[in-house]
Structure 1
Amino acid sequence: MFKADLPGLKEEVTVEIQEDDRVLQISGERNFEEENNDTWHRVERSSGRFTRRFRLLENAKMDEVKASMENGILTVTVPKVE
């Protein structure tokens, strides 16, 4: 199971499985928050593109991988052969 904290992101996140290399790839992009008001002075979130790659074990069931996003937490479940 993989978990990633991605607050404020939804459709901007992509989960891919590269079956040839047995690699799980999580990627996305956070756009810079820009507002034209004077109520705040600093943004604590980074912006830009990101990619993370994880090599999966030989006993991973590649065709049964499931991903879900809830409250800014991406959960990717990779079942294994018993």
Structure 2
Amino acid sequence: MSLVRSGNVLDPLSVDFWADADPFGTVRALAGRCPVLTNVRVDWKETPTAHVFKADLPGVRKENAKVEVEDGGVLVISGERARDEDGKKDERWHHVERSSGRFERRFRLPRGAVRVDQVSTSMDDGVLTVIVPKEEAKKPQVKPVHISG
């Protein structure tokens, strides 16, 4: 099942990450795979030269985060947040609010307006930054035509 809005293809909600969501929007099942957390917070801003994504990934090591651009121009930020277990048998949890497990967020990039071959990433203090440069705007060529007669 997929939710696609026909209005604006640049709308981050036009990608199918809300499909099959639970009532609180925290977990969705991928076909044949384990549940995936969708509560990873991501900001998306557009500058004159790039699209900039910032994802809050506290407690996620950069080796456990992955950034991909699919063929259809969809940016995928995924990975896994390890569960806090120290292996002691005589301890038990009373309350757990921090999420753990796999996560994935998907964003449809504007077609033909970005340079997916030049995507750059960095991770600092639990914040993943993804920069997708824009294509340079082509200026229309104007060629004067001589009028005879």
5 Å matches for 1:42-57?
42-57=95-110
Which is richer in helix? 2
Return 5+ residue gaps in structure 1 as ranges: none
> Identity rate of aligned residues, in percent?
57
| Pairwise CA distance, 1:44 | 3.4
* CA distance in 1 between partners of 2:97 and 2:85 (Å): 13
Letter in 2 for 1:6: L
TM-score calculated relative to the size of structure 1: 0.85
What RMSD, in angstroms, separates the aligned Cα atoms of the two structures?
A: 1.7
* CA distance in 1 between partners of 2:68 and 2:126 (Å): 18
Which is richer in strand? 1
Which protein has greater RCO, CA pairs closer than 8 Å, 6+ apart? 1
Specify the structure having the higher radius of gyration (Cα). 2
Correspondence 1:32 to 2:83:
yes
Aligned length: 80
| Pairwise CA distance, 1:64 | 0.7
Q: Which residue does the alignment assign to 1:12? A: 64
User: Can you list the C-alpha shifts for 1:16-70, whole angstroms capped at 9, x where unaligned?
Assistant: 111x2011101111121013386x8544310111111111112011111101101
Return 5+ residue gaps in structure 2 as ranges: 1-51, 137-149
